[in-house]
């Protein structure tokens, strides 16, 4: 039995369990960051600022990328090899656009003198939270590159698409997490 066929006593692949544990851990990290944000905001010496417009654009981009990622899952289940390739590639490209938009957003903040280390702790929180999310997204991009590599070799079909579904689960999680973070910043008035 190879590694991808190993299952736990529950019948669930061990990689799936590890993915869910990792996502729960990541969620807890961001719950801690946002809780710390709220506590620090209540202490005073806090100045709200307008979020970069690029963060809104990146929100749209990551949500659209999730649609393409899910389309790849459906394509694999239907043995549509060309659709698998194109949707995974589009997802990867949109992921890279998200990264670019994050850097452009940070650049916009710097151009408005909103630096990482500043008198206003709100800016530091935004940099840290968006930066840590971006690091997790880069992990997703690496996973997408891996899945794209094998998709180009027609490795995925209706009998073998576990890697695509795992990647989709993680990618959807990153999209939902970013949506939460963006809305959190908007609601709290960053």
Mean pLDDT of the chain: 92
Report the C-alpha gap between 85 and 80 in whole angstroms.
9
Name the packing angle between helices 121-151 and 14-42 (round to 10°): 160
Q: Return the number of other C-beta atoms located less than 10 Å from residue 159's C-beta.
A: 9
**HSE-up (13 A, CA, CB side) for residue 94:** 21
The whole-number average pLDDT for the span 5-22 is 70
For residue 120, the model assigns a pLDDT of 85
pLDDT in tens, 67-88: 999 999 999 999 999 999 999 9
For residue 1, the model assigns a pLDDT of 47
Rounded (10°) CA dihedral 165, 75, 178, 169: -10
Confidence of residue 7 (pLDDT cuts 50, 70, 90): very low
Kindly tell me the burial class for residue 74, based on how many C-beta atoms sit within 10 Å of its own C-beta (0-12, 13-18, 19 or more): middle
Q: Is the pLDDT of residue 10 over 60?
A: no
Closest CA to 49 of 183, 177, 181, 186: 186
The whole-number average pLDDT for the span 6-30 is 79
pLDDT in tens, 124-183: 999 999 999 999 999 999 999 999 999 999 999 999 999 999 999 999 999 999 999 999
Are 30 and 181 in contact by the 8 Å Cβ rule? The answer is: yes
For residue 136, the model assigns a pLDDT of 96
For residue 5, the model assigns a pLDDT of 52
For residue 11, the model assigns a pLDDT of 52
Q: Return the number of other C-beta atoms located less than 10 Å from residue 19's C-beta.
A: 17
Residue 112's domain spans which residues? 3-188
Q: Among residues of the chain, what percentage have pLDDT more than 90?
A: 83
Number of domains in the chain: 1
pTM of the model: 0.89
In terms of residues, how long is the chain?
Answer: 190
For residue 81, what are the contacts with CB-CB under 8 A and spacing of at least 6? 75, 154, 156, 157
For residue 14, the model assigns a pLDDT of 81
CATH value at residue 94: 1.20.120.80
Q: What six digits make up the tokens of 155?
A: 């490795």
Closest CA to 108 of 169, 57, 170, 35: 57
């Amino acid at each position: 039995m190879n590694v991808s066929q190993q299952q736990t006593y529950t019948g669930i692949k061990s990689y799936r369990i590890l993915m869910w544990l990792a996502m729960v851990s990541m969620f807890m990290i961001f719950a801690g960051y946002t809780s710390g944000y709220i506590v620090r905001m209540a202490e005073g010496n806090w100045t709200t600022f307008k979020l970069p417009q690029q963060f809104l654009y990146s929100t749209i981009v990551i949500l659209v990328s999730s649609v393409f990622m899910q389309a790849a899952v459906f394509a694999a289940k239907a043995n549509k090899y060309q659709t698998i390739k194109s949707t995974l590639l589009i997802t990867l490209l949109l992921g890279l656009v998200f990264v670019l938009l994050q850097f452009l957003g940070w650049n916009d903040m710097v151009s408005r003198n909103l630096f990482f280390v500043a008198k206003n702790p709100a800016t530091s929180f935004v940099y840290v939270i968006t930066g840590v999310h971006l690091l997790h997204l880069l992990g997703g991009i690496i996973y997408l590159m891996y899945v794209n590599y094998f998709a180009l070799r027609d490795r995925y079909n209706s009998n073998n698409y576990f890697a695509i579904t795992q990647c989709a689960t993680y990618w959807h999680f990153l999209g939902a997490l970013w949506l939460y973070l963006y809305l959190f910043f908007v609601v709290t008035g960053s």
